[in-house]
Amino acid sequence: MTDERAVENQSDGAGGAGPDGGPEHPGIAQLFAVLASGEILAFERLAKEADLAPDRRGRIAFASMAAAEMAHFETLQAELERRGLDVIAVTEPYMEVLTRYHARTTPRNWYEALVKAYIGDGLAADFYTQILPALPAASSSVVEDTLSGTGHSEFVVPQVRSAVVANPALRSPLTLWGRRLLSEAIVQAQEVLATRDELAAMLFESSGEMASIAEFFDTAQEHHARRMAALGLG
- pLDDT value at position 20? 55
Domain spans of the chain? 3-230
Q: What is the pLDDT of residues 112-143, one digit of tens each?
A: 999 999 999 888 888 888 888 778 888 888 88
Q: How far apart are CA 198 and CA 14, in angstroms?
A: 9
Contact 168, 146 (CB under 8 A): no
Per residue in 167-213, pLDDT (tens digit) is 999 999 999 999 999 999 998 888 888 777 788 777 776 545 455 67
Q: What is the pLDDT of residue 99?
A: 93
- pLDDT tens, residue by residue, 40-89: 999 999 999 999 999 999 999 999 999 999 999 999 999 999 999 999 99
Superfamily of domain 3-230: Ferritin, core subunit, four-helix bundle (1.20.1260.10)
